[in-house]
Structure 1
Amino acid sequence: MFGADLSYVNEMDDCGAVYRDNGRAEDPYEIFAKHGTNLVRLRLWNDPDWTEYSTLTDIKRSIRRAKDSGMAVLLDFHYSDDWADPGDQKVPAAWADLSEDALAEAVYNYTLGTLTELAGEGLYPDMVQVGNETNTEILLPGNVPEDQPIDWARNAKLLNAGILGVRAAGEQVGETPKIMLHVAQPENVEPWFDDGLAAGLLDFDVIGMSYYPKWSTRDLDGLEQTIRRLRHKFGKEVVVVETAYPFTLDGEDAAPNLLGQDSLIEGYPATLDGQRRYLTDLTQTVLSADGQGVVYWEPAWVSTGCSTRWGKGSHWENNTFFSYGDTKAHSGFDFMTATYAAPQEVKLVFKGAGDGTAYLWADFLGGRDFTLPLEPTAQGYTYATRLPAGMPVEFQLYADPALDEPLLGAEMQSLTVGTGNNRYEFEF
């Protein structure tokens, strides 16, 4: 999954931006598709009174452009009239006075109605985000501190309403988009999903996370460990659904840029090469951890004569994939067509006399606080996963989840992942 959030492109086109590739002006959607983008992410606000963009009408225009260019679509429901992010999950004005039950009904009907309307016009998305950077409780009356406790009974009810709306649309249309839940910064993801699932979050397909070094406590190694742990603990696909990196610290206009010196990682300067290497290394990190892809935010928000609510121009032009002055496509795109090492399929098979649940622990789980329960099959106890070639692995099979009764002998077992057929059998 090589994605780009192109929510600004319609506005940039209307503001007179001209995107060029190889010296020629081209449709930006065609430029992204040509350079390897296979997924377009698009935000949707309920009923903003401050912009005509990212509305349902605008989204239809964007989805049509993406599909005409041969790219899949991820529709990002913000469930707000404005930006929804970790500290700002404001209920839309039309829903402000609803009771909790009525609010859940509104979320369900809005989600279902939007998707069925899009389907009727041939604009059905391939994936749907139920909420955007929902670190805090969604649909709140105003801004709240990120550390304010979440009322998970309420939060799960509202998120489930969105999930059920997507599922109901799938029943009507005959095809259900993949459902993503999205949390900002890797250090926040696991505890959020622990709490959400304990509160009764319904089934979803994809864990999406934002990863911006400026706002995260984890480096690329920490990101890899986080993704691998999430994959094994929750069994869901994992996508870095927002990231960005500056190719310069200079601005093309007077509007202050959001990513500056404090956004840089050691070894990745704010240069074209630094941006390209960051994205290539990030993508390899995600793939090595068995993540499903990377989506870049927002590589086409270039500088124009139009104004934002905070200044004239763009607050992101130093993170785009287009050069200053002539808006030519540059090497930021290259990560989408780079060569990557894919993780290897690994299957562990344990054969013995046990007929109850056994518990696998391995160091790729990232800690000894949980195990993987395995039920006996005709083959024995089996566990399949994907790990990088050359990775050393230590593991043990236990008779109990407290890790007190090892079944493979007293010593920890070990192997090194090879290439090709990685089927390992053990007797106990």
Structure 2
Amino acid sequence: MGQEREQRPVGVRRRTLLLGAAAGAGALALGTDALATRAEAAPTFIRGADVSWLPQMEAQGYYWNNSSGVRQDLFTILKGYGVTAVSLRTWVNPSSDPANGHCGIEETARLAQRARDAGMQVLIGFHFGDTWNSVGVQNPPAAWTGMTYSRMLDAMYDYVYHSCNVIKYYGVTPAWVKIGNETNSGICRPIGGVGHPDQMTGLLNAAYDMSKQVFPNTPVLVHLAQPQNLTSIQNFLNAYGGNGGKWDITGLSSYAQGGNVPGVLANMQTIQSSYGKPVMQVEYGGPVGKATQVRNSLRAFTTGLQGFGGLGTFFWEPEGYPSFNGYNSSAWDETSRRPTAALDGFLNV
């Protein structure tokens, strides 16, 4: 297993890419365009859920009932709501903290294999950190701290190539790979911050290229947060695209509710038309105590995205009970262990 993952040293991988870049640029562009075209033409809207906490919760004895109060495997329950895909995050060297750690590549690969066996498509999401990176926080892994840009570029090539080969070893071909998490301000700051667009682009392109080396037909997403703030997203995409950044799908996080949804959908449509890449809502959720509101807003997003060719919506950690993670965003009632009305937003839309 280890030999399969480390069969080519970093320098060889980089040199192969660099020598082939000029000859293959046209083919790569055509391939990317073809992927985007196929995605836009796809008839099936993706209904998904991030369930990265599942193994840690099960290890602590948590379980889930279906709407009839019968205990079932989480994937089975989700499939009953039309969910056909899961999003799984991965961290570089995480701690053992149940809520803020785990999700190393081996654990993520095992969960991806389980999802595949349940008939689910899988989105693999790289955070490029040891724990949460988000719109306000983009810290590199501890092992990368203090690296020069050149050394960090090598580390990125090696990490993504290795990680994708671990996923492949477990027999999973992801439907999507996400490079970074809510990267409005860049990645691995300060080296890869948006204020250093050439370095930011170099790091993300390294991740893109290594994903394609292992999974050539898997679309790669960049991921940005808060589409209500259109300027922040445009700043990133202009910097990234202007420096030769490569991506196939624009992933977006939005937890908007009620009357805020139409404006966010309008901005999502603008992002899709402006940059020529289909959009996917890779995070959505809402308060567990406002299930009807969350359901109606999910329904509005699902309908609205389909209206302009958006690819899908992922509910973020619907199985997460507040007693486990301290969050108030969930689609399960912790007392009855039954799903709330929130997930009904996926039905008949």
Alignment TM class, shorter chain as reference? 0.7 to 0.9
- Answer yes or no: is the 8 Å Cα contact 1:39–1:73 preserved in 2: yes
Please state whether the residue corresponding to 1:213 is helix, strand or coil.
Answer: coil
When residues 303 and 132 of structure 1 are mapped into structure 2, their CA distance, relative to the original with a 3 A threshold, is same
**2-side partners of 1:86 and 1:314: how far apart?**
20
Matched residue type, 1:15? Q
Matched residue type, 2:319? A
* Aligned equivalent of 1:211: 254
* Aligned equivalent of 1:293: 312
Q: Does 1:314 align with 2:333?
A: no
* Aligned equivalent of 1:88: 137
* Aligned equivalent of 1:49: 95
Cα offset, 1:141, TM superposition: 5.7
- Answer yes or no: is the 8 Å Cα contact 1:45–1:82 preserved in 2: yes
* Aligned equivalent of 1:309: none
* Aligned equivalent of 1:33: 79
Residue deviations 1:241-272 (CA, integer Å, cap 9, x gap): 11111141xxxxxxxxxxxxxxxxxxxxx2x3
Matches within 5 A, 1:344-359: none
* Aligned equivalent of 2:345: 335
Please state whether the residue corresponding to 2:220 is helix, strand or coil.
Answer: strand
* Aligned equivalent of 1:234: 275
Matched residue type, 2:304? T
Cα offset, 1:57, TM superposition: 2.1
Q: Does 1:168 align with 2:204?
A: no
Partner residue of 1:323 out of 321, 333, 340: 333
Partner residue of 1:193 out of 237, 242, 256: 237
Matches within 5 A, 1:270-419: 270=290, 272-304=291-323, 313-316=324-327, 318-339=328-349
**2-side partners of 1:98 and 1:212: how far apart?**
35
When residues 314 and 97 of structure 1 are mapped into structure 2, their CA distance, relative to the original with a 3 A threshold, is closer
- Answer yes or no: is the 8 Å Cα contact 1:166–1:176 preserved in 2: no
* Aligned equivalent of 1:72: 121
Residue deviations 1:284-316 (CA, integer Å, cap 9, x gap): 122223211111111011144xxxxxxxx4322
Please state whether the residue corresponding to 1:106 is helix, strand or coil.
Answer: helix
**2-side partners of 1:163 and 1:117: how far apart?**
16
Q: Does 1:125 align with 2:159?
A: no
* Aligned equivalent of 1:399: none
Rg larger in structure = 1
5+ unaligned residues in a row in structure 1: which ranges? 249-269, 305-312, 340-428
Matched residue type, 1:69? A
**2-side partners of 1:67 and 1:149: how far apart?**
35
RMSD of equivalent CA atoms: 2.0
Query: Between the two proteins, what is the percent identity of the paired residues?
Result: 26
Matched residue type, 1:189? I
Cα offset, 1:39, TM superposition: 1.1
Residue deviations 1:158-178 (CA, integer Å, cap 9, x gap): 1111111111113xxxx4311
Please state whether the residue corresponding to 1:87 is helix, strand or coil.
Answer: coil
Matched residue type, 2:81? H
Q: Does 1:11 align with 2:56?
A: yes
Which structure shows the higher helix fraction?
A: 2
**1-side partners of 2:118 and 2:339: how far apart?**
17
Matched residue type, 2:129? S
- Answer yes or no: is the 8 Å Cα contact 2:183–2:225 preserved in 1: yes
Residue deviations 1:338-370 (CA, integer Å, cap 9, x gap): 23xxxxxxxxxxxxxxxxxxxxxxxxxxxxxxx
Residue deviations 1:358-415 (CA, integer Å, cap 9, x gap): xxxxxxxxxxxxxxxxxxxxxxxxxxxxxxxxxxxxxxxxxxxxxxxxxxxxxxxxxx
**2-side partners of 1:4 and 1:191: how far apart?**
28
Partner residue of 1:140 out of 179, 189, 196: 189
**1-side partners of 2:169 and 2:114: how far apart?**
17
Q: Give the TM-score normalised by the residue count of structure 2.
A: 0.80
**2-side partners of 1:337 and 1:49: how far apart?**
37
Aligned residues: 296
Partner residue of 1:107 out of 150, 153, 156: 156
**1-side partners of 2:61 and 2:169: how far apart?**
31
**2-side partners of 1:206 and 1:87: how far apart?**
22
**2-side partners of 1:281 and 1:137: how far apart?**
30
Matched residue type, 2:256? P
5+ unaligned residues in a row in structure 2: which ranges? 1-45
Which structure shows the higher strand fraction?
A: 1
Structure with the larger RCO, 1 or 2 (CA within 8 Å, 6+ apart):
2
- Extract structure 1 runs of 4+ deviating beyond 6 A: none
- Answer yes or no: is the 8 Å Cα contact 2:90–2:124 preserved in 1: yes
**2-side partners of 1:319 and 1:114: how far apart?**
29
